Amino acid sequence: GSTIGIIGGGQLGRMLAMAAARLGYRTVILEPQGDCPAGQVANQHILAAYDEPNALEQLAEVSDVITYEFENVPVDAAETLNETKSVFPPPEALKVSQDRVAEKRFLAKVGIPTAQWRIVESEGDLEAALLAFDGKGILKTRRFGYDGKGQVKFTGANGESAKAGYAAIGAVPAILEAMVDFTREISVIAARDQEGNIKVYDIAENVHKDGILATSTVPVSVSSTMAGLAADAARKLLEGLNYVGVVGVEFFVLANGTLLANEFAPRVHNSGHWTEAACAVSQFEQHIRAIAGLPLGDTRRHSDCVMENLIGDDIDKVPELLKEPGAVVHVYGKAEARPGRKMGHVTRISKRL
Ligand code: ATP
Ligand code: MG
Ligand code: MG
């Protein structure tokens, strides 16, 4: 048997560890938090910070291949590990995706359009950028944002202040993105193996509530041309980064038929959780296959479905959900149900194809 190292102990790490176990792999996670979702199911838990040199050495020692479940793993740590054991997706993917400026530049370079954006490093930058975008836009920290955190929306209304907005995100390096008047949001989950083969799952349509993903629905209500454009973009991205593993790419669909990329995540993605219930091979197994040098699995969908995140107190609905026919329930094992915290998800299978 061989051992897969996973940096990060959240629900994505947990689901990766479960998929790895099913294929006969051992898993070891590196995570500073003791009782964490992945720690409960992995074979081994190295309890240390993601950049602690001894811990990295230990991880490299016990792992045959190393991956990560979140995009804020320190790039230096990933690069160091990559000198002794393969780290997939490549550290370059981490580097690009953890900075919104590098990400936007990369997307442009490989021919994937995004919203217009400006670098913001001061109140003055923000004022000038807002002026260029008719007072409308979304200010986002360059780094560490997730679930809509580190963002301030400008709608062009009177009384909105660049000064207050920049202070609200902590006056850190940021970007202003032009406000996208989208009709829908979609995402694509795709994988590339070590030989360069690519497989793409069906596109999902996503609804966010308070900046957090609420539901992913498959099939989408957008045209097959649009879905095809999203899949093509994912292929360009995977090839552009010489990528190995699963990627999630988020898009805005505009009324005029334009598709703009929002961002990508170099990992399994919340909007791909439905694959566990509606495909023979889930995104989690697909990622393990890719990084372990196994052939990619079939991405065909056998059912229509809707994935709903269970956030905060939603987790109390689990006993009821378990009574629903066609509901595939997944609970992450987090001790405390804080508001806004992802506690689990349910995928409701409907029509069989
Ligand atoms: P995630 O948890 O997906 O990583 P995040 O914190 O990185 O989230 P984004 O994906 O950038 O945040 O934005 C969250 C949501 O806010 C988007 O899914 C979309 O609904 C809305 N949004 C983001 N950027 C824009 C934009 N430029 N124009 C309009 N809406 C936007
Ligand atoms: Mg993000
Ligand atoms: Mg997002």
Return the pLDDT at 14: 98
Q: Is the CB of 262 under 6 A from ligand 1?
A: yes
HSE-CB for 333 with a 13 A CA cutoff: 15
Question: Distance from the CA of 141 to the center of ligand 2, in angstroms?
Answer: 11
Instruction: Quote the CA–CA distance of 309 and 314 in Å, as a whole number.
Output: 8
pTM above 0.95, yes or no: yes
Query: How high does pLDDT run on average in the chain?
Result: 97
- Indicate the fold that domain 116-177 takes in CATH: Dna Ligase; domain 1 (3.30.1490)
Model confidence at 121: pLDDT above 90: yes
Q: Is the CB of 180 under 6 A from ligand 1?
A: yes
Residue percentage of the chain with pLDDT more than 90: 98
Model confidence at 243: pLDDT above 90: yes
What mean pLDDT is predicted for residues 104-119? 98
Domain ranges of the chain: 3-87, 116-177, 182-352
3-state secondary structure of 317: helix
ipTM of the complex: 0.98
Q: Among 3.90.25.10, 3.40.50.20, 2.40.50.140, 3.40.50.150, name the CATH number for the domain at 3-87.
A: 3.40.50.20
Q: Does domain 182-352 have CATH number 3.30.470.20?
A: yes
Question: Distance from the CA of 74 to the center of ligand 1, in angstroms?
Answer: 23
Question: Distance from the CA of 330 to the center of ligand 1, in angstroms?
Answer: 25
- 245-261, pLDDT tens digit by residue? 999 999 999 999 999 99
Return the pLDDT at 15: 98
Q: Where are the alpha helices (DSSP H) in 133-218?
A: 162-168
Site to substitute for ligand 1 among 71, 262, 269, most atoms within 8 A of C-beta: 262
Return the pLDDT at 1: 67
Here the tokens at position 133 are 């975008």
What is the rounded end-to-end Cα distance, in angstroms, of the chain?
A: 36
Element (H, E) at 27: strand 26-30
Q: Which atom of ligand 1 is nearest to the CA of 212?
A: 2
Question: Distance from the CA of 262 to the center of ligand 1, in angstroms?
Answer: 7
Nearest C-alpha to atom 16 of ligand 1 is from which residue?
211
What mean pLDDT is predicted for residues 295-311? 98
Question: Distance from the CA of 53 to the center of ligand 1, in angstroms?
Answer: 34
Model confidence at 92: pLDDT above 90: yes
Nearest C-alpha to atom 5 of ligand 1 is from which residue?
146
Return the pLDDT at 352: 86
What mean pLDDT is predicted for residues 315-340? 97
